[in-house]
Amino acid sequence: MVGSTSERQEAPASGKLPTPPEKPMNLFQASKPTSSSTMSPSSPWTTIYHSESFRLAARVTTACFLASLFVLCCAPEPRAEYPQGVWVYVTAGVVTWQPTPDVASSLKKAWHRTVGTMLGGAAGLFLGAISLAVVELFGTLAQVIFMAVALVLTNFVWTYLAVQWGYRSHYAAVLGNLTTGIAMLSFYHEDVEESWKTGVFRIVNITLGGMLGSIATLVVFPVSTQHYLETKVAETIQETGKAAKLVLANVGEKELTRYDWFHHPKDILQDEAHETYMKSDAKLDSSKSVVDLLDYDPTFLRLPTQQRHELIQTMNVTLGRIQRMQASILILDSLIRSRSISEDYIDRELCLEIGDCIETIMASMAHPMSKGEDPKAGAAEAALLHIGLPKIRQAIVYIRKMYLIDNQFGSASEEGLTGQALEEALSDFEGVDVPDRSRLWERRDGFFYRNLELLILRCIRLHRLRTITKLYLYKLAS
């Protein structure tokens, strides 16, 4: 079993948590991969040897060059203009210029742009053909009225159905709506042949531009979406570990930035703990958005269906556990910044040591394909299990005992303090004193230690899940 006592280093008998090295081992540092250390043959080496800006510039340049070359070859003479040729160039550039460097983001944009253009173009050509019949029967004014009414109806129907069916921000829905109007308005022209040519070639050229952009994405420094997602998750885990360490390092600090100051325009304080937590939260949201792109990753789609489902399920569980860790960090940060936890009960040295161990464990998960378990992380996990958690439990028992002696609430049970009173106390981040605030210290201290205990357990669960996942991916790549 992964993470068993025989595989981990034993915690020292001194009762003190071992201090990890000042610079934890970063297994995601650039190192030339071999066939057994890469997750897929989708060139993760591009992440190491070329910057993201260089890759994007090369990819966009190649796509636009191919598009312009296609248009110029179709119209070698200046007078022989290729109809609607600009849309080949525009689509190739739009498809390749994506916020993420992976293959699936470009292929998804190309597919949605093509589908939206085809559906919208077909609807626009159909309405345009009807407008030609209207102008022959009733004249130009009737055609204008028909087009105006058709535009209103198509825009309303497209938008309503897109929102109703959950495609409000879907690129194909937006482009289909716009293309319908563009294709239909092209028939408001004296030259009927030119009208048909405009509508048809727009559909053809956007499809060609999407194909050229997809080719450039697959050929010029391609990055697998699966590899990119693993990289984002590793960065999120590492940033979350840093946030946990910095937040716990704030225990006992007198001058801390309160939450109400973060939104003040004149705030000049640099709060590293809060900034690191916000970065980890942003990275988590970014990782979640990449999961849906796996359905467009060719290298991922080559895997058997069962393996794909297992990998997606494991990734979702991993992201969920990271989110729970961040929730625990946020609660601890809130309690620390409220300045209402008692220094008599909170052990600052213990919090610092726990923060160092958590950062070491999280840093060990940085490389998705590292073989085996990092011994430093194993020692840190053993220390948390055999020393850190027992100390926390002792502190909770001690706080309860002192709480019972004081007996201000008449009972040491969990119902001694109402949920509403506790909520009001925990939301006191503006420096406004709650009546009898000192009476809530014991309960807040216990609440702090309980959330610290949750943070440790969630960190260990995430570590063991990642260890199992890394071994599974290693077998797949081998």
| Phi–psi pair at 238, nearest 5 degrees | -65, -45
CB 378 within 8 A of CB 424: no
Q: Which two structure tokens, joined as six digits, stand for 214?
A: 């997809």
SS3 317: helix
For 61-108, the pLDDT digits (tens) are 999 999 998 888 887 666 667 788 888 999 999 999 888 888 899 899
pTM over 0.85? The answer is: no
For 262-290, the pLDDT digits (tens) are 555 445 456 788 889 999 999 999 999 89
- Shortest CA distance to 290 belongs to which of 102, 107, 48? 102
Written as tens digits, the pLDDT of the chain (478 aa) is 333 333 334 444 445 554 444 433 332 233 233 333 333 334 444 444 567 788 889 999 999 999 998 888 887 666 667 788 888 999 999 999 888 888 899 899 999 999 999 999 999 999 999 998 898 888 888 989 999 999 999 999 989 998 888 888 788 888 899 899 888 888 887 677 778 888 888 888 988 999 999 999 889 888 888 888 988 999 999 999 999 999 999 888 877 776 655 555 445 456 788 889 999 999 999 999 899 899 898 888 888 888 888 889 888 999 999 999 999 999 898 888 877 777 777 888 999 999 999 999 999 887 654 455 678 888 898 899 888 888 988 888 887 777 655 544 433 334 344 445 544 544 443 444 444 444 444 467 788 888 999 999 999 999 888 777 666 665 655 5
Separation CA 354–CA 253 (nearest Å): 17
Separation CA 431–CA 55 (nearest Å): 50
